[in-house]
Chains A and B, each alone.
Chain A
Amino acid sequence: MKFRSLALAAAIASVGLSSAVFTPAAHAQAAEQYFPILVYRTGAYAANGNPWANGYVDYLKLVNAKGGINGVKVSFEECETGYATDRGVECYERLKGKGATVFQPLSTGITFALTEKAPVDKIPLITAGYGRSESQDGSVFTWNFPLLGTYWVAADVAIQHIGKAYGGVDNLKGKKIALVYHDSPFGKEPIPLLQERAKMHGFDLQLLPVAHPGVEQKATWLQIRRDRPDHVLLWGWGVMNSTSLKEAQATGYPRDKMLGVWWAGAEPDVKDVGAGAKGYSALTLQHGAEPNSKVVKDILAMVHDKGQGTGPKDEVGSVLYMRGLISAMLGVEGVAAAQERYGKGKVMTGEQVRWGLENLNLDQDKLDGMGFAGVMRPVQTSCTDHMGASWVRVHTWDGNKWEFSSDWYQADDKVLRPMVLDAASKYAAEKNIQRRTAEQCAQ
Chain B
Amino acid sequence: MGFFIETMLGGLMTGMLYSLVALGFVLIFKASGVFNFAQGAMVLVAALAMARFSEWSNAALGGDSLFLANVIGIIGAGIVMFAVAWTVERFVLRKLVNQEGATLLMVTLGIAYVLEGLGQTFFGSEIYSINVGMPKDPVIMFEGLIEGGVMINKEDFIAALLAAVLVGGLTVFFQKTSVGRALRAVADDHQAAQSVGIPLNKTWVIVWCVAGLVALVAGIIWGSKMGVQFSLVTVALRALPVVILGGLTSVPGAIVGGLIIGVGEKLSEVYLGPYVGGGIEIWFAYVMALIVLLFRPQGLFGEKIINRV
Contacts and interface: CB of A to CB of B under 8 A. Distances in A.
Do A and B come into direct contact in the complex, CB within 8 Å? yes
A225 B6 contact: yes
Contact of A43 (B230, B238, B270, B279): B230
Contacts of B238: 216
A421 B163 CA distance: 55
B277 A219 contact: no
Interface of A: 41-44, 46-47, 50, 183, 207-211, 213-216, 218-220, 222-223, 225-226, 238-239, 242-243, 246, 249-252, 268, 271-272, 276
B293 interface: no
Interface of B: 3, 6-7, 10-11, 14, 120, 125-129, 136-138, 151, 153, 155-156, 225-227, 229-232, 234-235, 238, 265-266, 269-270, 273-274, 277-279, 281-282
18 contacts: A41-B125, A42-B230, A43-B230, A44-B234, A183-B279, A209-B277, A210-B279, A214-B231, A219-B7, A219-B10, A219-B270, A246-B136, A250-B138, A250-B153, A268-B126, A268-B127, A272-B128, A272-B129
Nearest to A240: B231
A287 B120 CA distance: 31
Contacts of A42: 120, 125, 230
A218 B126 contact: no
A239 B229 contact: yes
Nearest to A45: B230
A268 B231 CA distance: 14
B227 A207 contact: no
Q: Indicate the member of B10, B231, B270 with the most A CB atoms within 10 Å.
A: B231
Contacts, number: 111
A272 B227 contact: yes
A106 to B, nearest CB: 16
A219 B273 contact: yes
Contact of B227 (A41, A46, A209, A239): A239
B155 A250 contact: yes
A252 B14 contact: no
Given A218-B266, A219-B266, A252 B138 contact: yes
B231 A223 contact: no
A47 B281 contact: no
A251 B155 CA distance: 11
A49 B128 CA distance: 15
B269 A246 contact: no
Contacts of B234: 44, 213, 215
A238 B151 CA distance: 28
A249 B136 contact: yes
Nearest to B4: A226
Nearest to B140: A252
A32 B138 CA distance: 58
A252 B149 CA distance: 13
Contact of A207 (B127, B156, B230, B277): B277
